[in-house]
Chains A and B, each alone.
Chain A
Amino acid sequence: MNLKELLNHDLVETKVDVEDWEDAVRAVGKLMVRSGAVEKRYIDGMIRTAKELGPYIVVAPGIALPHSRPEDGVKRTCMAFITLKKPVEFGNEINDPVDLVVAFGAVDKKQHIEALRDLATILGDKKNVQSLREAKNTEELLKIMWSQEAK
């Protein structure tokens, strides 16, 4: 499943106002719960995993990738993306603060690979990252996220 198939209007939000990193994870997790792709407890799973393993989920400057194990309540492969109104600290000295949060739920080690690959291609381009930060609404955001051609 590629990025275009996973991300739609209901799974993205721009300029979300949050107080701290847990708030940010809850905000993006809420979108996945609402879509029916994960159970509510998956949000707790993402927060718990981030606490257990440290802020390694901040995988690049300003970008966090919260996720947890399939058995923490993933019903189907999914992804959600929010940009934050103001950046928050996740505790990662090198890559903080974060203002782009991409959460995902995997059911195995394979189904979400294409989407991750698309994500890597899009977020690997600094121009895209800047445009995403500046996106004023979900249309602008999706335009960039969907810009990878379907393979």
Chain B
Amino acid sequence: MIKGRKGVNNILRVLAVCGMGLGSALLLKMNIEEVLKDAGIEAKVEAADISIARGPNVDLIITSPGLAPRLGDVSAKIVTIHSFFDKNEMREKVLAALGIKD
């Protein structure tokens, strides 16, 4: 459960990370935004490439299993998604990471 690590105004700061930040990351971002909205969670989701993922000020990082090992040491919680078109998988994993019952 992420406690006391939320950003300003308790808005969840999420980063969708992929190789270049303009393809798969955007796909991830779109679907994650919908998933969070449907779950009633206020969040700011940004798409990024792997170089930005290491910055601070991020609560949750969503990425593919292949890229997760390259994130290195980050304070954010990491969620890996297998299928970027599967909102069910995203919902299950994101809510689990946030400690929220699905």
Complex Cα distance, B26 from A60, in Å, reads 14
Classify the interface of chain A: helix, strand, loop or mixed.
mixed
Chain A residue at smallest Cβ distance from B82: A94
Contact between chains at A116 and B84 (CB < 8 Å): no
Shortest Cβ distance from residue A31 to the other chain B in the assembled complex, whole angstroms: 17
Known contacts: A69-B20, A104-B23, A106-B23. The answer to whether A61 contacts B83 by CB under 8 A is yes
Complex Cα distance, B21 from A117, in Å, reads 15
Shortest Cβ distance from residue A140 to the other chain B in the assembled complex, whole angstroms: 20
Contact between chains at B86 and A92 (CB < 8 Å): no
Number of A residues contacting the other chain (C-beta, 8 Å)? 31
Residues of B within 8 A of A104 (CB): 23
User: Does A1 have its Cβ within 8 Å of any Cβ on chain B?
Assistant: no
Classify the interface of chain B: helix, strand, loop or mixed.
loop
Complex Cα distance, B56 from A150, in Å, reads 39
Known contacts: A69-B20, A120-B30. The answer to whether A92 contacts B66 by CB under 8 A is yes
Complex Cα distance, B52 from A109, in Å, reads 15
Listed by A's residue number, 7 A-B pairs whose Cβ atoms lie within 8 Å are: A54-B66, A56-B19, A57-B23, A65-B27, A67-B20, A67-B23, A95-B83
Query: B residues near A, CB below 8 A?
Result: 18-24, 26-27, 30-31, 47, 64-67, 82-87
Pick the 5 closest A-B CB pairs, nearest first.
Answer: A53-B19, A59-B84, A60-B83, A124-B85, A60-B85
Query: A residues near B, CB below 8 A?
Result: 49, 52-57, 59-61, 63, 65, 67-70, 92, 94-95, 104, 106, 108-109, 112-113, 116-117, 119-120, 123-124
